[in-house]
Structure 1
Amino acid sequence: MYAVADTAAYLTGRWHIERAVHDLRTGTEGSFRGTAEIRPDGPGGTLVHLEEGELTWQGTVHPATRTLRIGPRPDGTAAVTFADGRPFHDLDLRTGRWTAHHPCAADRYEGTFTALNADRWHLRWRVTGPAKDQLLRSVYRRAR
């Protein structure tokens, strides 16, 4: 693991993403390939996290995007929100690893963030509940 003193500064930049998506209930698997750009957006040092790419699901390719906001805190941690400002989770990479929790209706999202070095981090989301039983594994590599 790679200790990160300032989560927002570490994440800032352009990243290549490879994501494996597994629906554990149906056995269906898919993948996402794309990029994330994490850049300053607005006052107070807030960052915008823009992902775009292609989701391949059951042999069909779909364009896919998502937008998050990252609010840095003075202690090096951050608050992650959805694009509309609703809270998503806290993020603290000071030890190089963080587990986040997010309730979504009756489902529960548990995300494990692992910083491996200055240019690579992993994200694993396990989603459980009445509506979903999924595992998403993402690898982020800094673009040069």
Structure 2
Amino acid sequence: MGEFWPVPDALAYLVGRWRVSRSVRDLANGAEGEFTGVTEFGPLPDGATGLGARETGGLLHHESGTFVWQGVARPAERTLRFLRGPGGTAEVRFADGRPFHDLDLTSGRHVADHPCAADLYRGEFTVHDSDRWRTVWRVGGPAKNLVLRTDYAREG
């Protein structure tokens, strides 16, 4: 891949609305799917970080669209919390507050791991420019063998 675009402040970069296109491939059986929709990064509701007195601010990430798996289309959505970390980084949490992964885009590229039961999710985040970035999650373990590639393009 070409050069990466450094991001000094992950939250400042992410804020706004993004078009999302995700491909999902099951390497075990060859099944494929795709998600198309939008992701919005907006302000967290007051008290939504779950950090109590050390609350540091962040963004609420809400993704919604259509997921097509083996020809069947279904509505899909998810919510994450992106909390402000040190030096322009972010800490990503699930909607219920459980930790997901860290995010440091200061070099324009970041790799994060998330263990999930016996499976391991390894995500690579790359920033192309001010309006485009990508994630590639590789999921491996006894229950899953997947590659999820997501492209984000800023709207407006």
Partner amino acid, structure 1, of 2:5: Y
Counterpart check, 1:23 vs 2:26: yes
Q: Distance in 1 between matches of 2:154 and 2:58?
A: 20
Counterpart check, 1:122 vs 2:122: no
Match of 1:51 in 2: 63
Which has the larger displacement, 35-44 or 21-30?
35-44
Structure with greater proportional strand content: 1
* TM-score, structure 1 as length reference: 0.98
Question: Gaps spanning 5+ residues in structure 1: where?
Answer: none
- Which residue of 67, 79, 88 corresponds with 1:67? 79
* TM-score, structure 2 as length reference: 0.90
RMSD: 0.8
Counterpart check, 1:13 vs 2:16: yes
Match of 1:142 in 2: 154
After superposition, give the CA deviation of every residue in 1:27-50 in whole Å (9 maximum; x if it has no partner): 001100000000111353221000
CA drift of 1:85 comes to 0.3
Match of 2:98 in 1: 86
Identity across the alignment (%): 53
CA drift of 1:10 comes to 0.4
Q: Distance in 1 between matches of 2:57 and 2:16?
A: 14
Question: Gaps spanning 5+ residues in structure 2: where?
Answer: 47-55
After superposition, give the CA deviation of every residue in 1:95-120 in whole Å (9 maximum; x if it has no partner): 00000000000000000000000000
